[in-house]
Amino acid sequence: METTQYKIGIVGATGAVGQELVRLLVKRVFPASEIRLLASPRSAGKEINYEDFTGTVQETAPEAFEGLDIVIFSASGGISKELAPEAVKRGAIVIDNSSVFRLDDDVPLVVPEINGDALAEHKGIVASPNCSTSIAMMGLYPLHRAFGLKRFFASTYQAVSGSGAEGMEELEKQVRAHVAGESLAKEVYPHQIAFNLIPQVDSFMDGGYTREELKMLYEGRKILGLPDLKASTTCVRVPVMRAHSMSINAEFERPVDLEKATAALAEFVGSEVIDDPETQSYPMPIFYEEKVKCGVGRIRRDSALENGLAFWIVGDQLWKGAALNAIQIAEALVERGLISAKVDSV
């Protein structure tokens, strides 16, 4: 039986998300006849190996997109803005992990478990949401379906993987330096991250919110199809390697039922419930590295909001927050027949 195979390019292949993209394509047995690794000129020639896959990095340039069916961008917004249209010109569908296209009216912003139908509207580019947004939606969406989301408040506890490989390296170096009694160098973050919390993720905007905090509001509105949704978020960088955690307090249009809420979260394909106060069971970042589903716990009626629920959610920033969601978009394009391979192979 013939199986359609696709040629895939990864822009930013040597970064933390790019390397996870390679691993997930292999682990999930995506039907790829080629995985073309693309990065900056200084990374050209490097090899990336995972299980039976070995690939050599090429320099990212317009001609490098020739013959590709899908190109996943996991680099800066500037690179996506400049080169994503070049990939589309050459017949590829672009899945972009940067923020540059997310709020563009002509670009679907997709979490496949929630709004996969929006993929049919793509015009060559599909945007993948911000990491904290994707993870938050895994808890908010099933509750929205059950009770009708009105507004929410979120405090995030974001792992250093959100700053890429450099952030992960800085945390590790600072911990080692602390143990050795040495001074702690700061390069990635404005303050020491080891044994500390930094209440700033991304740059500050007018009004005092950071860019990261506003993403939760505007991206959430677009993904859920709720243009009047209200949200207030505080994003905090914490000394955790790669899983983001969030405390969310949400208010709904209809009266909430705790048993129904728990069932909605447990039955949703993107989440699992870990919530047993008697045994001190709840999701924690150390248990959610390299997990497909996000964990939800501490589910309870909110004591301050009418028709409110409070909950805690944890998800792998490099997976559901970035690489996994992009791969799931590619899988959904294939499953829905929204992409044609340039070359079919057995």
pTM given for the model: 0.95
Neighbours of 106 (CB within 10 A): 10
pLDDT in tens, the chain (346 residues): 568 999 999 999 999 999 999 999 999 999 999 999 999 999 999 999 999 999 999 999 999 999 999 999 999 999 999 999 999 999 999 999 999 999 999 999 999 999 999 999 999 999 999 999 999 999 999 999 999 999 999 999 999 999 999 999 999 999 999 999 999 999 999 999 999 999 999 999 999 999 999 999 999 999 999 999 999 999 999 999 999 999 999 999 999 999 999 999 999 999 999 999 999 999 999 999 999 999 999 999 999 999 999 999 999 999 999 999 999 999 999 999 999 887 544 4
> Structural domain boundaries of the chain?
6-129+323-335, 132-317
CA distance 275 to 157: 19
Q: Of 122, 144, 235, 244, which one is the catalytic site residue?
A: 244
CATH code matching the domain that covers 132-317, chosen among 3.40.50.2300, 3.40.718.10, 3.30.360.10, 3.40.1280.10? 3.30.360.10
Neighbours of 264 (CB within 10 A): 20
CA nearest 87: which of 105, 22, 43, 101? 101
Kindly write down the DSSP assignment for every residue of 169-201, as one continuous string. Answer: HHHHHHHHHHHTT-----SSSSS--TT--BS--
244 is catalytic: yes
CATH code matching the domain that covers 6-129+323-335, chosen among 3.30.1450.10, 3.40.50.720, 3.30.200.20, 3.90.1300.10? 3.40.50.720
Identity of residue 64: A
Q: Of 131, 144, 235, 294, which one is the catalytic site residue?
A: 131
Establish whether domains 6-129+323-335 and 132-317 are of one fold.
no
131 is catalytic: yes
